Amino acid sequence: MVANSEQSVDNNEECKVATTASILRDLLNVGRIRPLDAAFAEFIIHHEHADSVLDHGGIHIVGLLAAYLSSRLGEQDSCLTLHSFYQPFLPFYHFGSSAELNHVLAASTCVARLDANRPSTDINKPLVLEGNELYMQRYWQYEVHLADKINSMTGQPSVLDMDEGRALLAQLFIHKAPLPVDEAPSNANGTEYDIDWQKVAVCLAASQNVSVITGGPGTGKTTTVIRLMALLQGLARHKKSRLQIKLAAPTGKAAARLSQSISAAMGHLPEALQADLPTQCSTIHRLLGSIPNSPYFRFNEQHPLHVDVLIVDEASMVDLPLMSKLFAALPRHAKIILLGDKDQLASVEAGSVLSDICAAAQNFSPTVYNQPPPYSSDALTVIKALCQIELSTPYVNNAKISNSLALLHKSYRFSEHSGIGRLARAMNTGKLPASKALFANTDYPDVRWNASDEPKALVNNLLKGYQAYFSCVQTLCTDGQFETQGTEVFALLQQQQVLCAQKEATWGVHQMNALIESELNKQGLIDLGRDFYIGRPVMLRQNDHSLGLFNGDIGIVMPDEQNEGLVKVWFVTEQNTLRGVLPSRLPPHETVYAMTIHKSQGSEFEHVYLCLPRVETRSQARLLSRELLYTGLTRAKKSFTLYSDEQALSVSIARRCKRGSGLAKRLIG
């Protein structure tokens, strides 16, 4: 048989089923699988027994593989790669080789096996085996449909009016045209050339129906997309037409932030090019038309969106199912531009779509600082004609997706002398010694590492900042000027933020919030006798569209100046004014002196204090990754302090958050 169990297995059916059930119970008890995973395995086993050519041992294997696949889906993998997974159920069970597993799965009545001789439409089973990848049918459908749509769109590049395009770009990029790579001067380190990567991104995205504009913090993604919208609308205007351009983001918080950024930056465009550009951004769910208590949307393949150009911000946060549905709802002629940082944390749910698209576009070649991805000769010709920028690349990629990736290399937030910028680059490339050296280098005072395992040390370092915050709170309360000048309090709150890798346990969000509140109470800055004490910062955990409030929004408890004795939770509006909401009307919320790194995505703080837990178990090690550390680091604008022992730092930098997926391979072809 193709697998061995450490438990005795009898040949009769009742004993075999009992053995499978007992292994599932053991795995549940030690937390290796969830009740949902066990239930799915039992469902598969039941159907195999009803109609299967497999013997009892084969059914046993298929059931346990189903449990493991389901558990990996809970860990955000969209598929299970048979030849590369570690033995996950030891010491309870040991799987055989991938060839043996393939042989068993091919005979299963619950598995659709795809090969060159079997059309992909012949899918009517809960599991799908394609090559060495095992999928749940639903996620196989999401991945295939998304890849098919992207491949069909990338096969039809846009035809641009080059003369008009150059004229518009001259208005949008007024500064001196950069030199070709081989003529451009480098800086003292020989690493930076005079190439306007924003201009390259605008040209590339204008010429492609699918494009990704990716870059770290401060690289100008918002500035780039405003210029892109102006170029596209200007080209349409030249043809006596007008484009329907829409903005979307995965969360309400991200949507509000993009709306604010677009509105603030619009004034930097030439006035003649500002017409017909959108400033309001919606959530993807609202754009597609959510149906209550349903996974489906009003807009879909049969009823496409009314849009010519769709721009999606924070695309790294969009999971596989949602991205598949979003692409399905695009009309045939539409363009889509995905904005995000490919090195940030991926979505909370299954998939790593932005990262997969970028990997496919680069043909899995490394990102070379200040060098373009492997563009085709046609794309390089368009860039040269539109931008007067001559690029070359040492890499080759014949995939259609290769021309869809625009990398923004230069950070306008962090200078060459910034420790944050250098540390981000070192961490992203997995350079542990270089990262440690940057922390130790006194030339970079904006990055610090505290190896203390005592959270109280962090709390003490925060006190000065909170004293200034609560002093401002008290002054505005006394003067009765909060409603007119309260944005000052929000600015002070943004001065510092504690970020955690987990919610529970030591160095978790709940512990850090409790410790900070306890110390503030001792200092007389807050009154813990009241749930909604004056100055308490809270973060929402759910959307409330009726109130115009979104998951991740942060408010501050302050008096209601119109009703003595009452307090409200105040939020900053898109117009930079304040609006108050009675505490009783708030959706679920929590105190937010500390938040998870996931919740911080898209936000910026002057000073960031990042806490990593000690690595004592496998589950704690799985919490940590290079992407997690990078995301937390790049929330900081002025300074970054890491609270971590050396092991947690080493594990974080060494471990990549690589999710099981076949999307990149489908895009390469």
As annotated, the binding site for ATP includes 215-222
Query: How far, in Å, are 109, 145, 448, 667 from residue 122 at the CA level?
Result: 13, 15, 57, 22
Q: How far is CA 96 from the centre of its chain?
A: 35
**Is the separation of the CB atoms in 635 and 351 below 8 Å?**
no
Q: Choose among 516, 499, 506: nearest CA to 601.
A: 499
H or E stretch at 595: strand 594-596
The neighbour count for residue 58, using CB atoms within 10 Å, is: 20
How do strand 405-408 and strand 210-215 relate by DSSP bridges?
parallel
H or E stretch at 502: none
Cα-based torsion angle of the residue sequence 220, 221, 227, 232 in order, rounded to the nearest 10 degrees: 160
DSSP string computed for 577-588? -EEEE-GGGPPS
Q: Choose among 270, 652, 164: nearest CA to 449.
A: 652
Say how many residues make up the chain: 669
Binding residues: 215-222
Q: Which residue in this structure is represented by tokens 């974080």?
A: 652
Q: Is 413 helix (H, G, I), strand (E, B) or coil?
A: coil
Instruction: Find the angle CA(68)-CA(74)-CA(75) to the nearest 5 degrees.
Output: 90
Q: How far is it, in rounded angstroms, from Cα 639 to Cα 420?
A: 7
Q: Which residues contact 503 (CB under 8 A, 6 or more apart)?
A: 509, 510, 596
**Is the separation of the CB atoms in 634 and 216 below 8 Å?**
yes
Structure tokens, 333:
């002629």
Q: Which residue in this structure is represented by tokens 């030849």?
A: 83
Is the peptide bond prior to 178 cis by the omega test (within 30 degrees of 0)? no
Radius of gyration of the chain (CA): 27
